A and B are shown apart, each in its own frame.
Chain A
Amino acid sequence: MKALLIPGLARIESVRDETAAGDVKTFTVQFLDEKDRFDYMPGQCAMLSVIGVGECMISITSSPTRDRMQFSVKKSGRVTSALHELEAGHTVGVRGPYGNGFAVNEWRNKRLLFIAGGIGLAPLRSAINYCLDNREDYGPIQIIYGARSPGDLCFKDEIFKNWPGFPETQVQVTVDKGDESWNGPQGFVPSFLKEIAPSPDNAVAVTCGPPIMIKFVLQALSELGFGDEQVVTTLELKMQCGVGKCGRCNIGHKYVCVDGPVFTLSQLRALPAEY
């Protein structure tokens, strides 16, 4: 029987700085032992270990349609800070996949609206690339992304070069506050979203970002006529086991690690607001 809480070891193949401040890095990893490797779906997570420091739950930002597993990590606590110290060639622990992931199969033939703020694009990126790699299965894709400043935008290659090149794919980027290099839109994501006013017809809106942004995005979506079933978001809570045992990340009787992290707005509304 597979040991539940023991990670597989993986080698960091490359580390990429995403932001100007250096507070977000994308790690590409490769398992050292093939038997530790696992398949996953967009939106699923894994427990990333810096052995000797600890573990934390990180969403997998790569798409299963691509061959390398990637994690984008914002430096915020002990483990993520230690992770940021690591370089290519170093070893991390990875166990997973955990969580439900996005219902990408249910999205087929729908219009997809991805709304992200800051590092919140990391889990959506997995779904975006998955859908783009299966482009013909999905309707028009609209990506609305914002960050505090131009330097805080993640995955710049993809948002500016790669994704806009796909058919029927639109990427709209805003920043809270621009600088001399910036000539794009300026403003918060929720108001940007309201200006763009995407149609709710046959659409799924997927959003992830800082809690305050999500709060107003959800409001805006509802104003735009999106029903609760059409709105999908991912949650983050403190997790220790990832497998629904440690009793920590519950919201009501749901555990974010096994029942989430992806919830529709209607599911969320049925849960106590304790997150």
Chain B
Amino acid sequence: MLHISKHNLLSLLTHASSSWQVFCPSKQGSTVNFGWFEGTVDTVAIPVNSCKGAFLPQTEELFTYRGTPETGLSLTGGFDGQKPVLIFFARPCDARALTLLDRVFLEGEYADDRYRSRRARSVVVTVGCKSPLDTCFCTAFGIGPDSKAGSDVFVYEDETSLYFEPLTEGGAGFVAAHLAYLAEGGTPVSVMEELRRAELPLAGRIWVEGMAEMLDSMFDHPVWEKMSARCRGCGACTYLCPTCYCFSVFDAPRGTHGKRYRSWDSCQFSDFMLMAGGHNPRPTRKERVRQRFMHKFNYGVKRQGDYLCVGCGRCIRACSVGLHAASALFDLKEAGR
């Protein structure tokens, strides 16, 4: 299998960044975050955020306008294909999450042109998870440390080297473009074994079989009240979630010109659904917390055909009051018995 010494990884990425926009984890202050490559990469930590921002940026310009409604307007919304995106060191859960976002943004009557153009030529390089965290529960969703769904290249990591396994044409293209950095030889069998055997501490506690069907009858269950009581109503869970995608659109005028943007939004914010006349269909945290988990575990299954959760545990790490997908699944299971 083609492999690279970890020492040479930065040179590979630097080279890659001439043809790709590289999105990878790096240490930023006290945390490791996914972001556009700026000369450093962190191959150890699981980033605080997900890699969805590479395809659905937190804030994105839709168009620029000149003029005013009174005097006439012109819009320029050209979104020319930039360099393709290279996600480097996604985890299997991240890769899988991208396939779920694809269902939202690429399928159905309306495909999202921007998402599609970013996603179209992208390459997702996923590393097998040798040391899952206490917060990982991807196995509950049929994912595992060696899952390859959504990946274009799969990477096995041992102490010194990274072994590249291309899975798709795009992945093969990426590997081919970097042969100069890669050496032939060996198959990391022990790593493969290790990945297969890796145990996730939460696996036994989280249960999703039949969860969607069970929730069909739980819309009015008192458990929502109990769960939401501790919610602080911030959007940390949704913003860091690899499968949350809600956004809003807004204008930023600057005199006789301006821009229209879209930005992530969160169903946990109190004004997410607030209407012009003051009516709010989800007026309290109960409705909003319910919306979040119903979306993940019921509506998503009905609409996109799968749970909108990959068990990455980011919401567990993000929430300061322990209200997250794992605790929700646990509490819902208890309540639905």
Chains A, B in direct contact (C-beta < 8 Å): yes
Distance (Å) between the CB of A122 and the closest chain B CB? 15
CA distance A51 to B66 in the complex (A): 10
- Asked if A206 is at the interface (CB within 8 A of a chain B CB), the reply is no
CB closest residue in chain A, given B282: A274
**Are B299 and A6 in touch, CB under 8 angstroms?**
no
Distance (Å) between the CB of A139 and the closest chain B CB? 32
Residues on A with beta carbons closer than 8 Å to the beta carbon of B300? 253
Within B213-255, the residues touching A (CB, 8 Å) are 219, 244-251, 253
- Asked if A275 is at the interface (CB within 8 A of a chain B CB), the reply is yes
- Asked if A52 is at the interface (CB within 8 A of a chain B CB), the reply is yes
**Are B65 and A52 in touch, CB under 8 angstroms?**
yes
Residues on B with beta carbons closer than 8 Å to the beta carbon of A3? 62-63, 77, 79, 113-114
**Are A240 and B248 in touch, CB under 8 angstroms?**
yes
Residues on B with beta carbons closer than 8 Å to the beta carbon of A274? 281-282, 287, 291
**Are B69 and A6 in touch, CB under 8 angstroms?**
no
- Asked if B8 is at the interface (CB within 8 A of a chain A CB), the reply is no
Q: How many residues of A contact B (CB 8 A)?
A: 44
Residue B275 contacts which of A7, A54, A238, A272 (CB distance < 8 angstroms)?
A238
- Assess A237 versus B253: contact at CB under 8 Å? Given A91-B72, A244-B110, A253-B298: no
Residues on B with beta carbons closer than 8 Å to the beta carbon of A51? 65, 68-69, 73, 75, 251, 258, 260
Within A20-59, the residues touching B (CB, 8 Å) are 50-56
**Are A245 and B105 in touch, CB under 8 angstroms?**
yes
Secondary structure at chain B's binding surface: helix, strand, loop or mixed?
A: mixed
Residues on B with beta carbons closer than 8 Å to the beta carbon of A250? 291, 295, 299
Residues on A with beta carbons closer than 8 Å to the beta carbon of B287? 274
Residue B281 contacts which of A9, A79, A244, A275 (CB distance < 8 angstroms)?
A275
Residue A248 contacts which of B67, B272, B277, B299 (CB distance < 8 angstroms)?
B272
**Are B247 and A237 in touch, CB under 8 angstroms?**
no
CA distance A241 to B249 in the complex (A): 7
**Are B73 and A272 in touch, CB under 8 angstroms?**
no
- Asked if B303 is at the interface (CB within 8 A of a chain A CB), the reply is yes
- Assess A247 versus B246: contact at CB under 8 Å? Given A51-B75, A51-B251: yes
Within B13-69, the residues touching A (CB, 8 Å) are 62-63, 65, 67-69
**Are A6 and B248 in touch, CB under 8 angstroms?**
no
CB closest residue in chain B, given A242: B110
- Assess A245 versus B104: contact at CB under 8 Å? Given A52-B251, A92-B69, A237-B281: yes
CA distance A272 to B67 in the complex (A): 44
- Asked if A196 is at the interface (CB within 8 A of a chain B CB), the reply is no
- Asked if B273 is at the interface (CB within 8 A of a chain A CB), the reply is yes
- 7 new A-B contacts at CB < 8 Å, known A4-B113, A238-B275: A3-B114, A4-B114, A6-B75, A7-B75, A246-B247, A246-B249, A247-B295
Interface residues of B (CB under 8 A from A): 62-63, 65, 67-70, 72-73, 75, 77, 79, 104-105, 108-114, 116-117, 219, 244-251, 253, 258, 260, 262, 265, 267, 272-277, 279, 281-282, 287, 291, 294-295, 298-300, 302-303
Q: What are some 25 contacts across the A-B interface (CB < 8 A)?
A: A1-B117, A2-B113, A3-B79, A4-B112, A6-B63, A9-B73, A51-B75, A52-B65, A55-B249, A77-B276, A77-B277, A90-B70, A91-B67, A91-B72, A93-B75, A236-B275, A237-B273, A246-B246, A247-B265, A247-B267, A252-B299, A253-B299, A253-B302, A258-B110, A275-B281
